Amino acid sequence: MIAWVPELIYVRGICESNKALVCDAAGMILKIVDADELTVEKRVNLPRRALLPGMVNAHSHAFQRVLRGRTEHRSSGRRDSFWTWREMMYSAATRLSPEDVYDASRMAFLEMALSGITAVGEFHYLHHAPDGTPYDDPNLLAKEVVRAGRDVGLRIALLRVAYARSGFQIDVNPKQTRFIESDSEIYLKNLESLMSSVRSPVVSEAASGNARLRRAHSENDNSTPEVCVPNTAWIGVAPHSVRAVPLSYLKQVIGFANKHHLKIHMHVAEQPAEVSACVEEYGRTPIALLQTEELLSERFTAVHAIHVTSKAIASFAQTGAMVCACPTTERNLGDGVVPANEYFANGIAICLGTDSHTQIDLLEDARELEYHLRLQKLERAVLEGGGSPTVREGVSAATHAPPSLAIRLFDCATINGARSIGAPGGSLEAGMPADFFTLDLDDPSIAGASRDDLLPAVVFSAPRAAIREVVVSGKPTVSEGQHLIQDEVVERFNALQKRLWE
């Protein structure tokens, strides 16, 4: 047994001192006890560290990491928007080889690990070769992304995207041919095949990357750099949007997911044009369509869900579905503001995603969820109190409980995300895996914080650089702010960017 002994630990809404997190050899939490009670456990002292549950990034398109810094300008003098950005994104998406997808994904996942994220929901829509023909293994690229997640040591829900068409009465955009599986039978066949292979370790054609990794790693450490822990990878479904998946196809995908107890993620109402196209095709908004066709459930996460009415939010609340907000991407793409206050008032849980990876910092997403509403409403602490906004049960106003706003935002980044993608973890308690990160209490950004104000200091003020250790299933992946395979991943990614853009 290992006992992690930090100066402060955040457990179910309360910061405590003089506590130890005790784990078994499999990396599961056995108990959280007073440090004085430790006996035979191997003790890992973490002086001047705060220990918090690992964060869960519920919405990622890992390959979009290659776009960073390359779309922050107007394209051809026009008014720039989500739609012009999308064309630039497609121009990168159509040029990546399977190995490139692996390298780009590893870079994104590495940055996630460094920022305290221990599980990711990867909304994966690159399926075919650049000319649109399926690979011999139709799941080759999905497996490359899963392998990247495992090699970095993140839990990963591979949410396999269904993409049938460019839109209602719209011809196929040639840049979308890598995504499209126009027949739902083919999609489901490929999905089943992926489900059976991801249960066992993924070995792909680009396994040479692993050999390189092992060489790079073995100079410092004899263990393999892959953190192959149980439940590191699993499959969910992701019908892309009502624009890209017609209703009959959508019903088959969601029917399959319900039968097999898979999580369902879908982009919903990210842009006004998507809503008006849905009204034109079905006479209903996306939320109304999903709700009246009985496609929403506790398994369903609506990503973005920005352009919605109060009436739609009230009916959405009846279904148990949740919302994934991606504030740093939504501000970058000019999407709009998630009405988180209305979702919370209706008892709807919100999780968070870094989405296009302009930044990878889930704490920034957490604070932006609140900050966007402050700018809109000219008020402070908009999301404090009221309703039943999180998956957590029974947070009391105990001594040393942080203010409810910080708890609520941190829950969005942890337990709500875990529920959304079906990950174990999200909170520190017996029976959960030991997935956590630590912060340096002497980092200038949070220096002086006490146990009473630590959580708001972290949520509103801590940068990624204050994160020092990250542990998944009891195994360290980040130590002293450095990932085990960081140099090799960055080097490979630098070479990829040079190849892609120079």
* Chain contacts with Zn ion (rule: CB under 5 A): 355
Q: Specify burial of residue 88 (Cβ count, 10 A radius: 0-12, 13-18, 19+).
A: middle
- Comparing CB distances to Zn ion, the nearer of 103 and 355 is 355
Sign of CA dihedral 382, 384, 388, 393: positive
Least distance from Zn ion to the Cβ atom of residue 335, Å: 10
Contact yes or no for 264/299 (Cβ under 8 A): yes
Q: Catalytic residue among 304, 307, 357, 372, which?
A: 304
Least distance from Zn ion to the Cβ atom of residue 89, Å: 10
User: Going by C-beta distance under 8 Å and a sequence separation of 6 or more, which residues neighbour residue 13?
Assistant: 392, 395, 396, 398, 401, 402, 407
Least distance from Zn ion to the Cβ atom of residue 355, Å: 5
- Comparing CB distances to Zn ion, the nearer of 52 and 308 is 308
- Comparing CB distances to Zn ion, the nearer of 155 and 304 is 304
Cα 449 to chain centroid distance, Å, stands at: 28
Helix ranges, 176-293 (H): 184-198, 208-218, 247-259, 272-282, 286-292
Least distance from Zn ion to the Cβ atom of residue 343, Å: 18
Q: How many other C-beta atoms can be found within 10 angstroms of the C-beta atom of residue 213? A: 20
- Comparing CB distances to Zn ion, the nearer of 151 and 355 is 355
Least distance from Zn ion to the Cβ atom of residue 416, Å: 17
Tokens read off for 194: 């992926």
Q: In degrees to the nearest 10, what's the CA dihedral of 375, 378, 381, 382?
A: -80
As beta bridge partners, residue 479 has 482
- Comparing CB distances to Zn ion, the nearer of 335 and 355 is 355
Check residue 398 and report its DSSP letter: -
- Comparing CB distances to Zn ion, the nearer of 144 and 355 is 355
Least distance from Zn ion to the Cβ atom of residue 81, Å: 16
**Euclidean distance between CA atoms 62 and 177, whole angstroms:** 19
Q: Catalytic residue among 335, 355, 435, 443, which?
A: 355
217 is catalytic: no
Q: Dihedrals φ, ψ of 76, to 5°?
A: 50, 40
Q: Specify burial of residue 335 (Cβ count, 10 A radius: 0-12, 13-18, 19+).
A: buried
Q: Closest residue to Zn ion, Cβ-based?
A: 355
61 is catalytic: no
- Comparing CB distances to Zn ion, the nearer of 102 and 125 is 125
Least distance from Zn ion to the Cβ atom of residue 265, Å: 9
**Euclidean distance between CA atoms 398 and 380, whole angstroms:** 24
Contact yes or no for 355/60 (Cβ under 8 A): yes
- Comparing CB distances to Zn ion, the nearer of 20 and 159 is 159
- Comparing CB distances to Zn ion, the nearer of 357 and 468 is 357
**Euclidean distance between CA atoms 55 and 481, whole angstroms:** 16
Across the beta sheet with 117-124, the strand order is 55-60, 117-124, 155-162, 233-239, 264-268, 300-304, 322-325, 350-352
Least distance from Zn ion to the Cβ atom of residue 59, Å: 6
Least distance from Zn ion to the Cβ atom of residue 152, Å: 20
Q: How many alpha carbons lie under 13 Å from residue 231 in its C-beta half-sphere?
A: 17
**Euclidean distance between CA atoms 136 and 493, whole angstroms:** 26
Residues classed as catalytic? 304, 355
